[in-house]
């Protein structure tokens, strides 16, 4: 499912114009990105959490040059689904 599919589905279910739904979805995503960039997690009860995970410094290898490189400590965005959400997906996927 793409962002356009989500916008279409919300528009059909709510009767709100696609342009307004598109703007709302974009604003939501921008808000999540801004929060994560600022180091704040986003919690959506019953859905899940958008969190910032810290990756420790590690040693990697450049195979083509046969050299060792140090990958510095960094942060990555992640999503952790809520237990209710996970249970729903598990029960729905086993019935198909």
Name 62's Cβ contacts closer than 8 Å, sequence gap at least 6: 68, 69
Contact 13, 21 (CB under 8 A): no
Average pLDDT over all residues of the chain: 93
- Residue 51 has a pLDDT of 96
Q: SS3 of 49, please?
A: strand
Spatial separation of the C-alpha atoms in residues 17 and 28, rounded to whole Å: 17
**pLDDT over 80 (residue 14):** yes
Q: Which residue has the tokens 């410094």?
A: 57
pLDDT digit string (tens) for 52-85?
999 999 999 988 988 999 999 999 999 999 999 9
Residue spans of the domains in the chain: they are 3-94
Contact 7, 22 (CB under 8 A): yes
Instruction: Say whether pLDDT at 93 is over 80.
Output: no
pLDDT tier for residue 49 given thresholds of 50, 70 and 90: very high
Q: Give the per-residue pLDDT at 96.
A: 59
More confident call, 53 vs 92:
53
Fold of 3-94: HU Protein; Chain A (4.10.520)
């Amino acid at each position: 499912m793409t962002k356009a599919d989500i916008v279409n589905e919300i528009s059909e279910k709510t009767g709100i114009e696609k342009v307004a739904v598109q703007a709302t979805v974009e604003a939501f995503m921008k808000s999540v990105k801004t929060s994560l960039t600022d180091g704040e997690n986003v919690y959506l009860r019953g859905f899940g959490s958008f969190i910032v995970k810290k990756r420790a410094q590690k040693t990697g290898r450049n195979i083509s040059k046969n050299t060792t490189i140090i990958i510095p400590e960094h942060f990555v965005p992640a999503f952790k689904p809520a237990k209710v959400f996970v249970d729903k997906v598990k029960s729905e996927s086993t019935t198909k």
